[in-house]
Amino acid sequence: MTQTAQPAPTHTGGTPAAPSPQPRAAVVGLPPALKRRVPKYSDLAPLMKFKKPEFSNAARLRRASTIWELRDLAKRRTPQAPFDYTDGAAEAEITLRRARQAFEDIEFRPGILRDVSSIDLRTDILGKESALPFGIAPTGFTRMMQSEGEYAGSQAAEAAGIPYTLSTMGTASIEDVAAAAPNGRNWFQLYLWTDRDRSLELIERAAKAGNDTLMVTVDTAVAGARLRDVRNGMTIPPALTVKTVLDASYRPAWWFNFLTHEPLTFASLSRYTGTVADLINSMFDPTLTFDDLDWLRETWKGKLVVKGIQTVEDARKVVDHGADGVVISNHGGRQLDRAPIPLHLVPDVAAALAADNSDAAIILDTGIMSGADIIAGLALGADFALIGRAYLYGLMAGGRAGVDRTIQILEKDMARTMALLGVTKLSELNPDHVRLLNK
């Protein structure tokens, strides 16, 4: 039987009736976990981990987790002239800024679903194993930054199983560094002088002291215009002027160490007093040519590395003249401003030497401030890296303990970066892991 629709009910007078009220939804209570209550002591006790405040410098070093934080500590503890000598570069410091920016402009390309439970950072460099893929670069006047100077650097490197390079302009002698780190791998950096007999004397001393690698620096025909040093009137040793005394008044530990240790001298040179630029311009040879490199190759029987390579052509030439390795470096931006960026040169140098069937080591220098920077350079084709400023920031921040902390930070950075890239050994790194932005 067919049903017919019933008309809607209406009030008398034709006004439509109000709709029937809908049933009200039941009120849902809060989950027990969200209901407020007075906390019990048994709940609070595991959360209360109050520690006694630590204000020692050792505690500050432990809390530092980046090289930049070590730099901040170094700046607070070191007078302006030696800090600026480390921190500064030539002229407008464009080269240094660009070198650091190049590392910031790296894009990593990680692989996933790899077993990265064990990371191996060991590598072979110039015929021997290094526990980490970096060493300590040669730095001049190091005991001016902090009184432990080259001794702290060489002993920290020995403990970490990495090479340490002593500068011709160091403030500890070849023999004293060898005695301080007898089981370390010590290298010696040489500036060739106009007086070849004095150069030969240094070479013989380095060999006798057990240095297995000679690193000749070739980018200092004349001194760069390091304007911070000019403004600070920096001399060796530091001058006690009204400005330096006032600057030291809130850095008493530095002055106490400076005044109560052996006087600061160039340990491999005769005593010299004057500006850095005067020393370089008076002692080093602007007539240096590839013929001198040939003489050095014949004279030195160990591994020979040339530091200051800034073009592909020069990398090939020095290898043709007997170099076992090249350090792609613009001297930390301290010589020619607007110089080439070392990181950007690495792929081209690696390709050129590979085309020549050369096994010469490619070492990267300048601008490195993290372990990720080192990994980026290795992925692009470098075999090894050198740290200069990063090491000195640690030294100024806390002497030997500060250098140890620098190495620990870089090691942790590298291991973490490799794990996140999906690689477990340095040999697995390749250019596919990185991309250079804004080159």
Residue 395: what are its φ and ψ, rounded to 5°? Answer: -60, -50
Q: The tokens of 304 are what?
A: 């020979």
The verdict on residue 301 lying in a domain is yes
The verdict on residue 72 lying in a domain is yes
Q: Which residues contact 265 (CB under 8 A, 6 or more apart)?
A: 171, 237, 271, 272
pTM exceeds 0.95 for this model? no
Identify the band that residue 41 occupies on the pLDDT scale cut at 50, 70 and 90.
confident
Helix (H) or strand (E) holding 408, with range, is helix 389-421
Is 331 among the residues known to form the active site? yes
Q: The tokens of 88 are what?
A: 């500064």
Tally the C-alpha atoms within 13 A of residue 217's C-alpha that lie toward its C-beta. 28
Contact 237, 264 (CB under 8 A): yes
What is the domain range of residue 278? 57-436
Catalytic residue among 11, 261, 321, 331: 331
Residue closest to 99 by CA, chosen among 324, 340, 426 = 340
pLDDT of residue 7: 52
Identify the band that residue 14 occupies on the pLDDT scale cut at 50, 70 and 90.
low
Residue closest to 347 by CA, chosen among 382, 393, 320, 322 = 382
| pLDDT tens sequence across 17-38 | 555 556 555 556 788 878 887 8
Contact 106, 365 (CB under 8 A): no
| pLDDT tens sequence across 178-234 | 999 999 999 999 988 777 888 899 999 999 999 999 999 999 877 788 888 888 777
The verdict on residue 354 lying in a domain is yes
| SS3 label, residue 294 | helix
The number of distinct structural domains making up the chain is: 1
pLDDT above 90 as % of the chain = 62
Measured CA angle at 434 (ends 429, 438), to 5 deg: 155
Q: Can you tell me the mean pLDDT for 72-90?
A: 91
Helix (H) or strand (E) holding 142, with range, is helix 142-145
Helix (H) or strand (E) holding 165, with range, is strand 163-166
Of 269 and 318, the structure prediction assigns the larger pLDDT to 318
Q: Where are the alpha helices (DSSP H) in 312-388?
A: 312-320, 342-355, 371-380
b/e code 168-201 from CB counts within 10 Å (16+ = b): bbbbbbbebbbebbeebbbbbbbbbbeeeeebee
The verdict on residue 179 lying in a domain is yes
The verdict on residue 62 lying in a domain is yes
- Residue 415 sits in a domain whose CATH number is 3.20.20.70
Q: The tokens of 128 are what?
A: 């021997």
Q: Which residues contact 200 (CB under 8 A, 6 or more apart)?
A: 299
| pLDDT tens sequence across 366-406 | 999 999 999 999 999 999 999 999 999 999 999 999 999 99
The verdict on residue 41 lying in a domain is no
pLDDT of residue 1: 47
The verdict on residue 24 lying in a domain is no
Mean per-residue pLDDT of the chain: 87
The verdict on residue 45 lying in a domain is no
- In the DSSP assignment, the letter for residue 358 is -
